[in-house]
Amino acid sequence: MVKDLLKEKKNNMTGNAMMIMVSVVLSRILGFVRTMLIPERLGGMNEVTDAYNLAFLLPDLMYSLLVGGAISAALIPMLAGYIEKKDEEDGWKAVSTFVNATFIAMFVVSVLGIVFAPQLMNIIAPGYDKSNTEVYELSVQLTRILFPSVCFLMLAGLCNGIMNSYQKFVVAAYGPCLYNLLCIFSIYFLSSDDPSNHYSVHRVVWGVVLSSFIYFLFQIAFTFKHLKHYRFGLYFRHKGFKQMLKLAIPSLLTTSVMQVNIIISNSVTTNFPEGSVTALNIASKTWQMPLGIIAQSMGVAMLPVLSTLFAAEKKDEFIQKFNKALRTVLMLAIPSAFAMAILANPVIRTLFKFSDKLTEGDIDLTARILILYSIALVAQSVNTILNRSFFSVKDAVTPLLSGLVAIAVNVGFSVLSYRYTGMEVRGIALAYSLAACVNMVILIGSMNRKMNILKNKKQLTLEIVKMVFASVIMAFVLVLCERYLLP
């Protein structure tokens, strides 16, 4: 099996996933260093760091809509299918139209986002527009600066999608590492730790925009050789483009579920004490680190493979590859969730060991949020695999409907928690996790009805029970270690 993992075969999904996993680990580590530097370089968990985190919500949503949604659901399966059918040149008419139309749409959205930033911020940060106008105004300013970066990140994402379609994963996988590294340099060298110095955070955000531009230049340099069939025209009547549009539109909403839920969580959190948004963001980025390592790397590798198998009508092999990916993800996600819940406080304390900007209360609050987010780790890992599987069979409607239900659940539990539980920001994390679980149950049932993926469900159930049992034993050992060995 080890030899198989090391072979660089075109359709070696596990081998590709292992390679991508390494890049994701590096990217997530750099991304988390970037997250940790914000309170360290901007004076701790305060109004400035809250404004900084809020400013990223809308640009991040736009990015996830296109890169996580349209590109994954439409561009990669369609282009991979045309390549498999030896009809690459005709396929590029549809792909070129999709790329050109996407850029035009994103440019317009960015302009509108800059113009209507105050109105948008009223929606996503209702707790600040009247009670704390300084944070509100700073958030608006930073949001306007950040919107142009969405265009650069979108173009880089399109380059990644094209390379993934050709199953060239290396540059696409390691490009985000460069972006995060550039952002780290911007935060470290352009900031000051004086919270009252708003020019400092402005410089940091401009540095992030420049980093996104350099990231795009890096990706296009390696994608250029695959663009020989690219055209500047718009072939709206091409049947391939129409099919891509049918896949892209519902997937835009489907893959935005996670980001929309994050926006909802932050929106409610603006009603809580200063620093709550920053604590929620740090805990969120912490649990998303293993999510990216475990699920997203496998999802990126499996999408073109499953798309090719579906196009070739190899259903049995499709089911086999899917179940292999699902088992692998569960085998990693379940013990990781247990470990995260048990070691939440030591993890946060270790990550900020060399920072003197976070108080004991900041660390304790962030750790308590992380414990509740650990529930979402397993659910979102499975959801990532399921969403990619739906995209590979060119079905983006089912994940959309399931995602809308999840959003409704998140809104409902967030409001109930805010009004009746007194859990404050911890209740927001719990609501998010419950919504992720509901989404997982719906997606599993829907995919099983569509492709009969659980025909060996007894064996899968037994394997999950074994994973949980082993994780419980591991958790017991970790509790003993935390109590008697850790300081």
Look at residue 2 in the predicted model and tell me its pLDDT: 30
pLDDT in tens, 84-93: 777 777 778 8
Domain carrying residue 313:
2-484
Angle between helix 88-115 and 133-165 (nearest 10):
180
Residue 34 has pLDDT above 70, yes or no: yes
Residue 262 burial (C-beta neighbours within 10 Å; 0-12, 13-18, 19+)? buried
Question: Which residues neighbour 260 within 8 Å (Cβ) at sequence distance 6 or greater?
Answer: 61, 407
Domain count, the chain: 1
Look at residue 418 in the predicted model and tell me its pLDDT: 83
Look at residue 433 in the predicted model and tell me its pLDDT: 93
* Most confident listed range (29-33, 163-167, 461-465): 461-465
CA 286 to centroid of chain Cα atoms: 12
pLDDT class of 8 with cuts at 50, 70, 90:
very low
pLDDT class of 241 with cuts at 50, 70, 90:
confident
Average pLDDT for 32-48: 80
pLDDT in tens, 297-333: 777 677 777 878 887 778 888 888 888 888 889 999 9
pLDDT in tens, 44-81: 777 788 888 888 887 777 776 666 556 666 777 777 77
Tokens of 454: 């659980």
Look at residue 3 in the predicted model and tell me its pLDDT: 37
How many C-beta atoms lie closer than 10 Å to residue 437's C-beta? 18
Can you give the pTM of this predicted structure?
Answer: 0.73
Question: Which residues neighbour 37 within 8 Å (Cβ) at sequence distance 6 or greater?
Answer: 184, 187, 188, 191
Residue 26 has pLDDT above 90, yes or no: no
Residue 334 has pLDDT above 90, yes or no: yes
pLDDT class of 25 with cuts at 50, 70, 90:
confident
Residue 272 has pLDDT above 50, yes or no: yes
Q: With CA atoms as reference, report the closest residue to 332 among 191, 467, 439.
A: 467
Average pLDDT for 133-152: 87
Look at residue 208 in the predicted model and tell me its pLDDT: 92
Distances from the Cα of 271 to the Cα of 128, 130, 292, angstroms:
8, 11, 30
In total, the chain counts a number of residues equal to 487
Look at residue 254 in the predicted model and tell me its pLDDT: 66
Look at residue 260 in the predicted model and tell me its pLDDT: 77
Look at residue 307 in the predicted model and tell me its pLDDT: 78
Average pLDDT for 153-178: 80
* pLDDT-wise least confident of 138-142, 260-264, 446-450, 462-466: 260-264
Look at residue 136 in the predicted model and tell me its pLDDT: 81
pLDDT class of 441 with cuts at 50, 70, 90:
very high
pLDDT in tens, 338-397: 999 998 888 888 877 766 667 788 888 999 999 999 999 999 999 988 888 887 887 878
pLDDT class of 11 with cuts at 50, 70, 90:
very low
Residue 213 burial (C-beta neighbours within 10 Å; 0-12, 13-18, 19+)? middle
Average pLDDT, the chain: 81
Q: With CA atoms as reference, report the closest residue to 183 among 206, 160, 199.
A: 206
* pLDDT-wise least confident of 17-21, 193-197, 385-389: 193-197
pLDDT in tens, 183-192: 999 988 888 7
Percentage of the chain modeled with pLDDT above 70 = 88
